[in-house]
Structures are given as C-alpha cells and as structure tokens.
Structure 1
Amino acid sequence: MDRAVARRNVVLSRMLDEGYITQQQFDQTRTEAINANYHAPEIAFSAPYLSEMVRQEMYNRYGESAYEDGYRIYTTITRKVQQAAQQAVRNNVLDYDMRHGYRGPANVLWKVGESAWDNNKITDTLKALPTYGPLLPAAVTSANPQEATAMLADGSTVALSMDGVRWGASLPFGYSAGTDAA
C-alpha cells in the first residue's frame, strides 16, 4: 500500500503543478485513505491445456503481437465440458497404467541396509510432490504378502489390501516406494 500512496502523491503533485487541481484539493485528497483493491478477471475454471492450445494458436496467427495487442479470446468450452475432459484423461491414464501393471516405485526414499526415515522426513518429502486429481503421493512404509501400509503427506496411514492391487502383481513381492528391496 506504501507504493500506492507514493504513486498517488506523485500524480496529485503533477496535477497541482499543471493546474488541474487547487492546493486545497491537493491537501484534502492527499490525506484521504486509499481503499483500492487489486482486481483481475475472475477465472471461471482451470483449463491449462486449453489455455496453452489457444496461446499457441494465437502465436501462430499473430506472432509476438498476440501478447501485446490486447486480444480478447472467447471459446465455446464450458466448465462442465472441461471438467469432463480432465476426468476422462485421469480415468484413462489410470486404466492404462493398471493394464500395463506396476512398474516399480516412483522414488526410493531409503535403501535396504540404511536406517528408515523418520515420519517427519517422509511427510516433508511427500508434501513436495504433486497430486494428480484425487491421487495422492504416498510412501509404503511396510508390506507383507497380505497387506501394505502407506503414509500420506499429512502423516496419516492407509492399509492397502493386496487383493485391491492385483493389477500390480507383475513385479515380485518386495518392491515398495519406501525401501529398495533389490
């Protein structure tokens, strides 16, 4: 807000110097509180892929002027259609992943023979990872042939029945996201 006050005072000083306002108007306006708020267009919904497609098309048509000439772009994509498209991609990527089986951990936090990490280090690592829709990063902290226990970024644990992950059976037992069993 200090920058806004400074800018306002510069503008008022110039208006006074140029004769657009009187000294009394300058003094009165200069003491008034600024109640301006930042306002930008409200984004109706997140559509990063669509936005990038539109940006590329505009750049291909208009070059650098696409960024500078103040174009307004309207699309026929609605929130409902965009959300359905994003959900379809999520579902199909997950289905594809399940059809191709488990390919091992995305990351190994500690190797066999090393001391296991404490819960704080595990949760700090998980908090730094991205989420994908309803999918959350987790670290498998223990496993046996019937069940695995996974820790989430908030420190809570989830029990995973091996019956529920039969699609991941393409690798031998012993792989986990928390430890390197190899």
Structure 2
Amino acid sequence: MNYLSINLRGIRDSKKADWVRGLKTSHGAHFVAIQETKVPGNITFLVNRLWGRSLFEFDAVESTGRSGGLLTIWDPSIFVKSGVVKNRNFLAVFGNMTSSGDLIAVVNVYAQNDPGDRRILWADLIQLKNTFSGMWVFLGDFNDVRWQEERLNSEFVALNAQHFNQFIAEADLVEYQMGGRQYTYRVG
C-alpha cells in the first residue's frame, strides 16, 4: 500500500487540490493523509477534488477555526475501515487490507508547535497503539526531528529530539529513509 502525507496549510485552493491529485495519481497512493486542512465543518465537497474520479472513503477531524484539521482519504478496494479514533492532533483509521485480511491502523498526525503538547501527544499515541494489535503506520507532520542534521534553517533542541526518539522507540516504530525535493516520498 502506498501512502502520501502532506501538510497543505489550507485546502480550499484549487491549485493545491490539483497538485495533491496529481501526486496521488503519479505515485499510486492508496492512502492520502492531509494535515492543516483549516476548514471547519463538512469538507465532503473538497475531497472529490483532492482524490479524483476513482472510488474513495474518508474521515476527517475538523479544524478549530482556521487552525489544524486532518483529512484521511483511502481506496476502499485496498482497505476496509472497521473503526476510527479522532483527536485534535491525530486521526487513527483501523481496518483490514483487502488483499490479505491483515489488520492495520493508519494514523494521520499533526503535532503542535509546543514541546509540552507534543510530549502529551506522544504518550497518547503510545497508549492508543497498545489498544490494537496489528500493523501500524504513523504519518503526518510531527513538528520534530530526530537528529540535528535534519533541522534546516531553524533551531535544533536536543531535548525535543530525545523525547521524539523515545516515542519512536516505545511505540516500536521503524523510520523509513525517504527523500525528495519539494516533498518526501517512498515509492513501493
């Protein structure tokens, strides 16, 4: 299953919708996770523009005013949803992969800028992970880096990296090395 995660800082712009749809199509994404939708209320009318003409299902966490908001869209022929957990800072979708029946949880994360709030989020995500056995995929905007080399044009705070690395270890996650130019992606 291919994933696309992107922080759009607002999704109303039709150029952004076209760009996301193009990325989804060109990379064969089955799951699209968008952070910072900045749209309060019902966003159904925007999802079709982002996904295209093929079948899709989605779930969302509304923004608070013009702040935050999460949207996760997926191909129902690849993934069948059985449950969801919503929080201001994450949207966890649980289900089965249609090809194998394997249980999987896909978590769209948007971490706040405040380090204390992020530490609370890391604890909440570990607690959530302990409630569901199966495969887990965490993607999104974590607003943290693991190593100093990853921080470009901003201040590196070793304590924040330590807490983020501790979260990754406690959640038993594996970070895939990814690369790109205007975005980061992993094909395959």
TM-score past 0.5 threshold? no
Structure with greater helix share of residues: 1
Q: TM-score, normalised by structure 1?
A: 0.23
Structure with greater strand share of residues: 2
Instruction: Please say which structure displays the higher CA radius of gyration.
Output: 1
